[in-house]
Amino acid sequence: MRRLLILLLSSTVLCGLHVSAEINYLQLYLIGDATPAGWNENLPEEMTPIGNDCFLWDGWLGCGELKFLNVRGDWSSSIVTSSQGLEFEDGGRYDLFYRNGTDNKFINTVPGVVRIIVSLRDMKVNFRRPVLSFTGPAALGWTLDSTIPVFADNDGVVKWEGQLRQGELKILDGSGRDWAPCYNAPFEGDVLSQGGHQMVYNTSDHDSSGNFIDFKYMVPKSGRYNLEFLRGDNDRFYAVHADITAEPSLAGAFSSAPGRYLVALDRQARSVHFCPVPSRLYIGETASEAAEIANVSPGVFSSRMPLRKNTAYKLSYNPAAWEHSVISPNADTDISGGETHNLAPLDAGSYSVDADGVYVVSADFSGPHPSLQAKLVAVTSNEALPEADVTVKARAGRIEVHGAYSRVAVCNIAGILVSDTAPCSVEAGIYIVKVDNNTFKISVK
């Protein structure tokens, strides 16, 4: 009996290891209609790895649902919560489940900035809302739409480190959805110099006597500031201690081979995606069926090729490393409707056309604004479209269509319908023959 029990326990351990091994501990994404991208599985919010299999995301959440993806574009990698419609609380810590057969999502009921910290090691998530927010010229300008959030840590300690510019700084209480309540300087023009400074809690910019009291701090110079905020017994802040270092230099921070590059930022400029301007270019759904677009001059590509409706195309400059060489739009884009400049060096949305047919696909990276388009063209009578075994021929004053098809339309050069059947007798001239979604141009003598 003891031996049997040991075998059962060993089996359980092995099964547990098998499930956890499916998780990719190198990446994690946030998705949902509460997020800036909505339910776009190809362009979810990428979370930042912070070590120990933990990930962090700071950003604006609207009202709505959210969950996590372990692999971008793969709904089967969903990481969900314990129950459907779970409204998270500020400071709340919740269990997460990977591929547990449910689609239970969190709910955000209060729009605003939220910090989300996920540990894939113990499958926990923590939600935090700001305790303070910065605005003013020293931060991101006088706007409530883009304040700088300040969060408390697990022990309630409130510290912030980051870049400030020279100018006025106003410190708002909480998520900064209004100008008051706030924390003011004790007097007008108080310079946020090295050391400690008093903080005054205010609910209005004037006191009961009508005197102006909305005093801001003056940041003396651009640089990197380490600010620690001290709380009193009433849980309000009474002081801030400033530690200032020199403004960082970007000299030598980036290096690459000389040349021209295609660069894109994510929605909140947290990460930069770039690739060299291609010397070879391909288009396709996947690497296995990608077709090369001919290079006609430096940075310019153009080829005539068949494209299909309802197909998600992407560009690539190296199909052998498809996942790392994709160029795509940040949202699905119809390139048969005109030129698009939405080309980014990341695997996000897709390009499409509105009808099956032969297109001239052109991409131009030679100027400051790369472009891509696909123009539908008519094929000659002796050409058959790949994957569409149909040919059109002119013989003895008749137009014949050979192959499998459902509909046919024969029009003269003025676009007037001559016949909707084939074969058909016509006078000498130029005709456009549309067979299903394929278009042919034919001369009848």
Question: What is the full per-residue pLDDT of the chain (445 aa) written as tens digits?
Answer: 344 433 333 333 333 333 444 898 999 999 999 998 899 888 889 899 999 999 999 988 999 999 999 998 889 999 999 999 999 999 999 999 998 889 999 999 999 899 999 999 999 999 999 999 999 999 989 988 889 999 998 888 999 999 999 999 999 999 888 898 999 999 988 999 999 999 999 988 777 777 778 899 999 998 899 999 999 988 899 999 999 987 767 677 667 788 888 888 766 556 688 889 999 999 999 888 888 999 988 999 999 888 888 899 999 999 988 888 999 998 889 999 889 999 999 888 899 999 888 899 999 999 889 999 999 886 655 555 554 567 888 888 899 988 888 788 888 876 678 898 889 999 988 888 888 767 788 888 8
What's residue 157's pLDDT? 93
What's residue 391's pLDDT? 83
Hey, what are 194's tokens? 């090295």
* Sheet-wide strand order for 390-395: 390-395, 398-403, 424-425
- 0.85 exceeded by pTM: no
Query: Cβ(127)–Cβ(88) under 8 Å?
Result: yes
CA Rg value for the chain: 31
